[in-house]
Amino acid sequence: MKRLLPLLFVLLVLFVVPLTAAAQSKDACRAFVQAAVETVRKSCAETGLNTLCYGYSPLEWTPREGAATAFADVGDSVSLAQTQSLTGRPFDLAAKTWGAALLRLRTDLPDQVLVMLAFGDTTLQNQSDTADDFLALAVQVSGTTGANLRESPSVDAPLVRSLYSGDALTAIGRLADGTWLRLPEGWVAAELVRSAYDLSLLPVMAADAPAPEVLLAPMQAFRFRSAFEDASCLGAPDSGLLLQAPDGVTNVRVVVNGAELIFGGTLYLQTTNEGRTVLTVLEGGAVYADGETLETGERLTYGYQGETVAYGAPEDYNFARARYLPLQLLPREFELTFSLGGLLYPFTPGTGFLTTIAADARCTVAWSVDVNLRSGPGTAYPIRHGVAAGFYGYPDARALDSEGRMWWRLAEAVWLAVDNTAGAGACDQVPIIEAPPLPAK
């Protein structure tokens, strides 16, 4: 142990300046994130239904034609139906900027709300032309002899088509007195249908009012773009979009970049540099592509191939990066599922994989034996996950344990013993940090 003390002293002297700078940067980053999140929370606490709230600056808002509402300062709110597009700026610690906006959408929920949070380098474009009071409700033909769908709300109006008992339909409006219901193709007498919902929630429509082109509520269908994994300092969230269903069970329907998604729980969306959408399920589940499912802790990418949307295969999500998302701004709390997605990559031992990595390249560590990943640098910390031989990763820090052994950190709270690995690249440049506190017993 005495022979280790001089070595330990030299290491501490060599790294004290970068260590101090890294710690200050980390602390400053997290402090700014915390302050910005608290500003969004307070400024948008009273956000109304089908409303967009200015959470943190800067944001650029483009109104629909004829909209005259001001939307320039933190705390301002505007109607979603008046919104054409919204663009946020990326996280910048030096400039203290981070575009963030909170949206509360009715979508197709009669008495609940879908919450969306856009943050960082993101753009949303509204693809629905409906008004804020738009709501679509499921109804069913109840008359034993069926019903008639007519061009206008009158028994003398021209017939569009016949409806049969038990037919499932979608109502999008009603007359003021509730006697007729507006369907996308025409009108039906209210007395001939039934519904599990209160039909008075439907918006009142004039007899000659045309049906909207897109039968979705404001911002229920939208185009979306973001930067991908662009966090500029440890503790900052990547840019993206969070969506949370009201209770984790109720299914909500949205259309994002051409794909219909039906989900209960919480989604996280980004787009890649190539323009593909990255869909991650943080909790609950999602249905896509006519019945395919994505479970908690999984993600996939999708995008257009010609005229159709093509989906990639599900994979583990990046738990390490998801830890920094501003989840505390969502109405429901939940615990992220641990995953090694985005941290480990397979290779074939004995093929000389590490010899292909340049000396000044990013530090890469690989192992050819089974290993345990722990929550800290040392066997006194709990095991997070056992991993088989034949994987590699990119450490972002290292630390000495209480016995003087060095450990790699692959991500916060994910550590691997150095003597179980072989390395290549600029591994001597990976900063040495202090070991985190042991968990309380």
For each of the chain's 441 residues, which pLDDT tens digit applies? 444 434 333 333 344 334 444 555 778 999 999 999 999 999 999 999 999 999 999 999 999 987 777 899 999 999 999 999 999 999 999 999 999 999 999 998 988 999 999 999 999 999 999 999 999 999 999 978 899 999 999 999 999 999 999 999 999 999 999 999 999 999 999 999 999 999 999 999 999 988 888 889 999 999 999 999 999 988 899 999 999 999 888 899 999 999 999 999 999 999 999 999 999 999 999 999 989 999 999 999 999 999 999 999 999 999 989 999 999 999 999 999 989 998 999 999 999 999 999 999 999 999 999 999 999 999 999 999 999 999 999 999 999 999 999 999 999 899 999 999 999 999 999 999 999 999 887
Cα–Cα dist 245/261, whole Å? 12
Report residue 191 as tokens. Answer: 């007395």
What pTM value is reported for the model? Answer: 0.84
Torsion angle defined by CA atoms of residues 370, 413, 119 and 331, in that order, rounded to the nearest 10 degrees: 110
Closest to 126 in 3D by CA, of 207, 173, 63, 206:
63
CATH topology identical between 137-201 and 343-429 = yes
Residue 344: both structure tokens together: 């480990």
CB contact set of 158 (below 8 Å; sequence gap of 6+)? 150, 151
- Tell me the CB-side half-sphere exposure of residue 226, using CA atoms within 13 A: 30
pLDDT of residue 3: 43
The full set of domain ranges for the chain reads 14-131+217-329, 137-201, 343-429
- Dist CA 103 CA 88 (whole Å): 13
CATH class of 343-429: mainly beta
Q: Which of 36, 37, 34 is nearest to 97 (CA)?
A: 36
User: Which CATH code for domain 14-131+217-329?
Assistant: 2.60.120.1440
Q: Which tokens hold the place of 179?
A: 């006697």
Fold of 137-201: SH3 type barrels. (2.30.30)
